[in-house]
Structure 1
């Protein structure tokens, strides 16, 4: 293989290197080993001279990638355990060969170039460029990014929420062998490796803070290694001006000390960014008034769906991406085939932008309201949005509808008119 890494700086960009130094455990480990910030950092090497990541470094890369791109959707422990099994954390590992395609899997997560290209082309994972340059998969951040993307796809394979066992065994042998006896030994080894990972400081997830109507104080800037996520990085200048022009939002932001050009998202105790209900309602109001004024879609309905699919977390929850849980392929179809082009969708990361997610959520809702050329009732549209139009079952969708009504009651216009659940 042509790729050869001696220093960390050889296989990461400046932004990723800075992120590594901000991880307290990494900076401590590096400083203790005699590394200095501003100079090149040596990669560890095994007795054969092959570079590898320490468990501390591996954990940091997984944490950073998940925090940036897959928050609450892929667990870093799963990534770390698979990296141990797949490559022993060696970035130049080439252990697995696909006899059919005659391709060699690359990197820490042992990703086939064709798999990475498919994730880029069809699912919009474009944070790192790999097309025409498969050796990029030898870079730790790139390999973990595409490994996590594949794990996320497996977690919702065929539109079903999959178990950890299915995901891990499918990663090893493909989805068709996820229940085959040939992948069972891999699952057992995975459990042993995961159990032996270094202990991690962990706070049980809590959605209480994300369910408040207003934004609490953001985490202290003194939090070691904490990096704020800003509204301004995920919304255009025009959309930010619309938000500041919204009286309730302006009041909330001003009261929490936000400044124009640098508005922080609220973060829960696990440092996941989310929207307050005031912010959520404002985004829905703006999107609908600008782009769907003739369709009659109600802001409260979009807000209630966001409560159900993402709990208003910016990056989404589980396999669903973004506030509205719209995946890249659906948004791209709405963009290309149905002409919803107010916002571009160049990559899956665009779906974590609040205005983009709500826009395509509203577009999908509008399409479902006239599914197969028939005007549909809310009792059809809501379960169809959550489970797919072909999976709507009157009896099974009853609990979903009750949850939807409960979420709907969080918004003022529904409280004033509790009997009205009209969507269109």
Structure 2
């Protein structure tokens, strides 16, 4: 509970500071403890270990801040002499008091807390996330309705759409199919499942690599080949994985919180059905695998680790999908090499 709240309140920054103009309440530190709350705890609850009244700035010290944050949580858990639920305690903590324990304004915070807590519980510190072990995530309250999600502009940001229109091959393809700005359709199969053309996939990979991974030596062709293998270019993924790159929610959230890949947010699992978001976290995971355990890794290792997890790699055994990947990769490499790309991974 403490770890999840610290994550939400301060993004784990011990010097974080927030001032609410409406309530005129100042909160500081890892758990965003208000100095006046800490002073009240010292006076009323006899927590005398830290002299916060004499020096409020000690709340910037991580141990002190967590001490008072935990003390406040303990008090809320038995508010008014009654044993309170975890939901009440968390919502009251965020709301600034017990009266907000059941208030509608603190419900989104509770949902966010559940997501973060689940990721903390499932996190593997030494092996990183497992691609096949994904916690559930609350559905986005603004998920597009069926039909609307068959259009690019309902899933992708205006900035990313502008990048797509500026890509010469994409512009040529979309112009030929008579797409118009603000109303670009996805290609769909017979079951109305949206997928990317190879031109669109290659463009997204090139945009993501050039904007966010230009110094990492990542080859866009490798990302394209992985997408072809993992999802067959379906932007919602397949039955066993989520999104274009098959990155599940727990992996994306781990990359966001622990590895600091924060160009895109992952508040909901539906965020990963945005092809740019999925490609970004797929590239981030590939970059992490390329230096797994501090060693430079081969493409063969990276591929197996991406699909099965780094602890399940057996390079001495024949991987049934490896030959297929080599064929697909060579196709994309021929296309991208004509445009001057010379990356390695």
Contact 2:235–2:275 at 8 Å: present in 1 too?
yes
Residue 286 (structure 1) aligned to one of 207, 222, 227: 207
* Cα separation, 2, equivalents of 1:398 and 1:245: 38
CA distance in 1, matches of 2:302, 2:284: 12
Q: How far apart are residue 401 of structure 1 and its match?
A: 1.8
Alpha-carbon separation, structure 1, partners of 2:223 and 2:140: 32
Check whether the contact 1:228–1:264 (CA below 8 A) recurs between aligned residues: no
Aligned partner (choices 226, 230, 236) of residue 309 of structure 1: 230
- Out of 264, 268, 288, the position equivalent to 1:347 is 268
Q: 1:319 to 1:119 in 2, by over 3 A?
A: farther
- Answering whether residue 250 of structure 2 is matched by residue 329 of structure 1, we say yes
C-alpha deviation, 1:326, in angstroms: 0.2
- Partner residue, 2:179: 258
Question: Which residue of the partner structure matches residue 127 of structure 1?
Answer: 139
Query: Distance between the aligned counterparts of 2:153 and 2:214, measured in 1?
Result: 26
Task: Report the equivalent of 2:303.
Answer: 382
Structure 1 residue 358: deviation in Å? Answer: 0.3
Report the Cα offset of residue 257 of structure 1. 1.1
Aligned to 2:17: none
1:404 lines up with 2:322 in the alignment = no
CA 289–415 in structure 1, closer or farther in 2 if over 3 Å, else same: closer
Which of 198, 208, 212 is residue 277 of structure 1 equivalent to? 198
Answer whether contact 1:408 1:414 (CA < 8 A) is retained.
no
Q: Are 1:304 and 1:404, in contact at CA under 8 Å, matched by a contact in 2? A: yes
User: Given the superposition, is the C-alpha separation of residues 121 and 268 from structure 1 closer, same or farther in structure 2, using an over 3 Å criterion?
Assistant: farther
Q: Quick check: which has more Rg, 1 or 2?
A: 2
Q: Which residue of 1 aligns with 2:151?
A: 230
Counterpart for residue 64 of structure 1: none
Cα RMSD between the aligned structures? 3.0
1:117-158 Cα distance to aligned partner (Å, 9 max, x none)? 9679633532267xxxxxxxxxxxxxxxxxxxxxxxxxxxxx
Report deviation, 1:416. Answer: 6.2
**Partner SS state of residue 383, structure 1:** helix
Structure 1 residues 350, 228: closer, same or farther in 2, change over 3 A? closer
Q: Shift in Å at residue 319 of structure 1?
A: 1.4
Q: How many equivalent residue pairs?
A: 215
- CA apart distance, 1:404: 1.0
Q: State the SS of the aligned residue for 1:317.
A: coil
Counterpart Cα distance in 2 of 1:412 and 1:371: 24
Determine if the alignment matches structure 1 residue 239 to structure 2 residue 160. yes
SS of equivalent residue, structure 1 residue 313: coil
| Range with bigger deviation, 381-390 or 394-403 | 394-403
- Map of 1:30-45 to 2, 5 A cutoff? none
* Structure 1 residue ranges without an equivalent (≥5): 1-116, 130-224
TM-score w.r.t. length of structure 2: 0.57
Q: Secondary structure at the match of 2:331?
A: coil
Does the aligned pair in 2 maintain the 1:383–1:397 contact within 8 Å? Answer: no
Question: 2:230 aligns to what SS in structure 1?
Answer: helix
Q: Matches of 2:230 and 2:324 in 1, distance apart? A: 11
Deviation at 1:396, TM superposition (A): 3.5
Distance between the aligned counterparts of 2:147 and 2:267, measured in 1? 28
SS in 2 for 1:404: helix
3-state SS in 1 of match to 2:215: coil
Distance (whole Å) between structure 1 residues aligned to residue 139 and residue 205 of structure 2? 27
SS of residue in 1 equivalent to 2:260: coil
* Distance 1:238-1:395 versus aligned 2 partners, 3 A rule: same
SS of the residue corresponding to residue 411 of structure 1 reads helix
Structure 1 residue 399, shift from structure 2 partner: 2.3
Worse overlay, 293-302 or 120-129: 120-129
